[in-house]
Amino acid sequence: MHDGCSGSFESGKQVVDKVRMMGFSEQFMPLPLQVPCGSCEKTFEMATFEAKCPECGSVHAVTPCHAFDPVNVMSGGVGY
């Protein structure tokens, strides 16, 4: 699924699963990111490696290696 910082993911669910497996879900990122929701497209601030869109509840995640750019944030979907 993912090989260190050089790996890639096929879906947002894989990113969410990886962040949860690593125990980073509730940890704060170095800097919060403004990200567009993958479901409703509303922009929200993401401060932890896993976050829910406050508008629709879509779960988003980013691995610590890629937490510097909102482009790397992926959506696992609403309620995932």
Burial profile 25-39: b = 16 or more Cβ within 10 angstroms, e = fewer: eeeebeeebebebbb
Supply the pLDDT for residue 72: 94
Which stretches of the chain drop beneath a pLDDT of 70? 1-4, 6-7
Among the listed residues 2, 4, 3, the one whose alpha carbon sits nearest the alpha carbon of residue 13: 2
Supply the pLDDT for residue 5: 72
Supply the pLDDT for residue 58: 98
Residue at 77: amino acid letter = G
- pTM (2 d.p.): 0.90
Q: 34 CB contacts (<8 Å, ≥6 apart)?
A: 43, 44, 45, 46, 70
